[in-house]
Amino acid sequence: MMTIPLEPEPSGTAARRGALHGDLSAWWAPAVHPVYARLLCAELLRRGFSRETVLGGTGLAWEALHTGAAFLSYAQLQRLVHQALVLTGEPGLGLAVGLSTELSIHGPLGVAAMASERVDDVVRLLPRYSRLRLRLGAFALLPLRDGGLALRFVEALPGGAGDGRLRAYVLGHLTGALLRLLQAVSGLSACSAPGLVLHWPFSVDTMPARVAEALPQVLFEAPGWQLDLPANVLNQATLAPDAEARRSALRECDRRLESPAAGSHAQQVRERLLACPGELPGLSAMAAAHHVSPRTLIRRLRDEGTTYQSLLDQTRAELACWWLSQTDGPVHAIAERLGFADASNFSRTFRRWCGTTPSAYRRRAERGGAE
């Protein structure tokens, strides 16, 4: 692998903190399909960590994470990734997990890719359909002088590039998954593909040697993430072209894209709860906001495998984690804001949610992971 150093990008806790006070709704909006979080959990289990350790302090429940298709929010992904990085101490963890991503993980998009005729056809699927799995940015295709294409990922991360470790994980997983996809559909090995260039917006320290061996030529500390695909790579035939299977898979992709943007009833309720500026509403008030009776809302949530109380508890946990990690407000004030009678009651409940006390959670967040 050839490395070409460029100018480093600025970083620092002050910049991260300053960037966090934007639109908080972006931190809780659907960000990534849970299947990619499950891949990370599976990798940690493979390395000998228990379920309790993997999710310790994240506020996530194993069963909920491993069932259904509700997207994780950016805030949830952040806590999970930070925990994983602390446990492994491996800056290139995202790349490693991405390289283990099987084609079937990508759902109908993966089927459409496998059934395409050429690599060029595969790459052109990403700008339109990648949001079926990832909503932390968008792909764009730019022409190269040699007739190739530059696949650029335009990031839309809350707080910009402030959380460097999470950003490195996300872009690392993205890189590994794409290179694995290209290999699966065409048999093409990235490290031996002439002209394939990865623009990597981090230092060489974020890429362990064993992971770097699977990568093409790399431009370190680049302005942004980009993969240059020369014409010879784009023209590479795939292993299993099937026009009818591709059309069928794309129809399913289009159907999912055209589904109501608001998502499930549970997602709508959750978004309303997170947007509440003060005390969280009870069932009757939430039902009225949705123009239905409490009984109807209960039934709709039950049909989706959840309850209003469960969503209320999840939201309180999300808000508690947010205020503890991203603000300097005293614990008793956060407890009062969440509707707890006193700080001790809040502390007991928070320990049930996250396996630690509010004060310990805040200290860990300030240190970027675990104590």
- Rounded mean pLDDT of 348-369? 83
Torsion of CA 178, 179, 180, 181, to 10 degrees: 50
pLDDT tens by residue, 256-312: 998 754 457 888 888 888 777 667 899 999 999 999 999 999 999 998 888 999 888
- Rounded mean pLDDT of 237-263? 88
Instruction: Give the integer Cα–Cα distance in Å for 246 and 58.
Output: 38
- Give the per-residue pLDDT at 216: 76
Instruction: Give the integer Cα–Cα distance in Å for 79 and 59.
Output: 8
Positive or negative, the CA dihedral 157, 163, 164, 165 is negative
| Residues comprising the chain, all counted | 371
**Under 8 Å between Cβ of 72 and 34:** yes
Burial of 283 from C-beta contacts in 10 A (0-12 / 13-18 / 19+)? middle
**CATH architecture of the domain covering 265-366:** Orthogonal Bundle (1.10)
Inform me whether the pLDDT recorded for 5 exceeds 90: no
Q: Give the pLDDT band of residue 211 (cuts 50, 70, 90).
A: low
- Give the per-residue pLDDT at 23: 52
- Rounded mean pLDDT of 360-368? 79
Q: Give the pLDDT band of residue 241 (cuts 50, 70, 90).
A: very high
Give me the residues paired with residue 190 across strands. none
Average pLDDT, whole number, for the chain?
86
Three-state DSSP at 70 gives coil
Instruction: Give the integer Cα–Cα distance in Å for 148 and 363.
Output: 48
Tell me what percent of the chain is helix, strand and coil, each rounded to the nearest 5. 55, 10, 35
Instruction: Give the integer Cα–Cα distance in Å for 197 and 230.
Output: 9
- Rounded mean pLDDT of 203-220? 80
Instruction: Give the integer Cα–Cα distance in Å for 357 and 47.
Output: 27
Three-state DSSP at 3 gives strand
- Listed by start position, the domains of the chain span 3-257, 265-366
